[in-house]
Structure 1
């Protein structure tokens, strides 16, 4: 992957059940010069697909805009149901600087995409995180509050006019959040109970907005096909709040309700150092260095 400049994008699409639609969306990232598809995964309970793609700014922008166009055409939010909060066919589009790129470039790219999807598809959008036009729009959860069903009324309020587009969501595709941010780890922890209220109580205790860890967003989710519940987590800065710390806290809190943690999962890709830090903790490694990893040395 000989790109001189690399930006990552992790668009989230509101489709996790129809594989044909998912493939149509993902096809926009395949065999494109200047773009490399790294990963995509979907979940039926969340009814959501997460794509991880990297590339140089202009070809990446073109591929993302094309994928959004496909999602708008194929996904009808009036029929969409799922465990994960959402407000549009493409719910959120973050850009992350990786190599020879800056946050400022990602902010500019996010604005270009927001402008283009309005001009091409008449889909309005909010800018969030580093791209936010005001402090109240930095947090995605605040923008998304009310979800798709509540956006028609919310966007009429002066404080919630979109950054691009008219003051109403697209009639079938809703509205999108687009922005620049630091690398995020999507991390879910599963509990041996179908009682989602317990998962929600644990999520409340660990998320920052409720007095928990500074760089943690969390909510409870019911996984009906497995008859369990899940604490669904976004780690917004794993260098300041570690995965192992959150995992141990969830185990501790679960005991209060007489339930156990039965596993966890990473959604999409994860920075290697996020896992190394947890390995150091659980194995009690002393003075371990990333250079000791065989694959790291081979790739040098």
Structure 2
């Protein structure tokens, strides 16, 4: 890979049609300077998360190819899933990895947002570091009302899109495009089918309702497994590490007489976040990442 690397983690509102997902993945990885690192689909959320890296121009082109592949295959009028959504390509973040700044990613978000409107007539909202005004930093606030409520929302002066006319795309809705730091999507599964319990725990955990400052959370049902889930985004894993989020969910679940039966990470995760969790739960003393065998091997000189 080149000296300048940007990560993008587009989320699309399709988690069940394997052929459609494969077509979108193929579109993303068809460029010569982009590498598709991960694809994770969830049929209950009815959502797929792609993770790709590459040089800024290559990643921008890949996202435009994704829109071209996604729009003929996703009709939000027919879409029903547990995860909130307002667009076929629901959200596209750009994350600086190497040799680029957050300002570069903001400029990239604005460039791609303009092109998405001009090519596909999908209205675009800028969020997080690319937001055009403070109240649009929060993705959840932009997406509130979802696809079904957005036709009316977009007509309000304060919700005019950053790029595009105040008309929702009939099948693809609207899209949020932004720039941000690395985010960890971390889900905790609970041994109950009671959605009220998951929602109560999510409310206790998320920062907006008095929980952990860098956690966004919602309670969802996993119908195919007969259980519920606390689905979280950790927006700063250094200040709110995985272990702290899990401990609070476990504590709140115990209050409801419910056990944690499993956890999952959606997409990719920095190794530092996992080292931190291992350090926390194993009570390691004087632990260094250099003690990890594979890291020592990879850093050893040839021969």
Q: Measure the CA separation in 1 of the matches of 2:295 and 2:25.
A: 29
1:242 is aligned to 241
Regions of 4+ moved over 6 Å:
none
After TM superposition, list the pairs within 5 Å mapping 1:227-266 onto structure 2. 227-266=226-265
Q: Is the Cα–Cα contact under 8 Å of residues 93 and 179 in structure 2 kept in the other structure? A: yes
Q: Is the Cα–Cα contact under 8 Å of residues 151 and 168 in structure 1 kept in the other structure? A: no
Task: Please list the CA deviations of residues 223-276 of structure 1 after superposition, one character each: whole Å capped at 9, or x if unmatched.
Answer: 000000000000000000011111111111111111110010000100001110
Is 2:97 the counterpart of 1:98?
yes
Q: Measure the CA separation in 2 of the matches of 1:267 and 1:209.
A: 22
**SS class of match (1:51):** strand
**SS class of match (2:77):** helix
Task: Please list the CA deviations of residues 109-161 of structure 1 after superposition, one character each: whole Å capped at 9, or x if unmatched.
Answer: 11111011111110111000000000000000000000000110001011000
1:224 is aligned to 223
2:137 is aligned to 138
CA drift at 1:294: 2.0
1:46 is aligned to 45
Q: Measure the CA separation in 2 of the matches of 1:46 and 1:188.
A: 12
Q: Is the Cα–Cα contact under 8 Å of residues 29 and 62 in structure 2 kept in the other structure? A: no
CA drift at 1:286: 1.1
**SS class of match (1:74):** coil
Q: Measure the CA separation in 1 of the matches of 2:267 and 2:141.
A: 24
After TM superposition, list the pairs within 5 Å mapping 1:106-145 onto structure 2. 106-145=105-144
**SS class of match (1:220):** strand
**SS class of match (1:123):** coil
Q: Measure the CA separation in 1 of the matches of 2:94 and 2:145.
A: 24
Note the residue ranges of structure 1 that are not aligned, 5 or more in a row.
none
After TM superposition, list the pairs within 5 Å mapping 1:15-54 onto structure 2. 15-54=14-53
Note the residue ranges of structure 2 that are not aligned, 5 or more in a row.
none
| Backbone CA RMSD of aligned residues | 0.8
After TM superposition, list the pairs within 5 Å mapping 1:1-300 onto structure 2. 2-300=1-299
Q: Measure the CA separation in 1 of the matches of 2:293 and 2:214.
A: 31
Task: Please list the CA deviations of residues 33-71 of structure 1 after superposition, one character each: whole Å capped at 9, or x if unmatched.
Answer: 110010001000000000000000111100111101211
Q: Measure the CA separation in 1 of the matches of 2:296 and 2:37.
A: 22
CA drift at 1:299: 3.0
Q: Structure 2 length as normaliser, TM-score?
A: 0.97
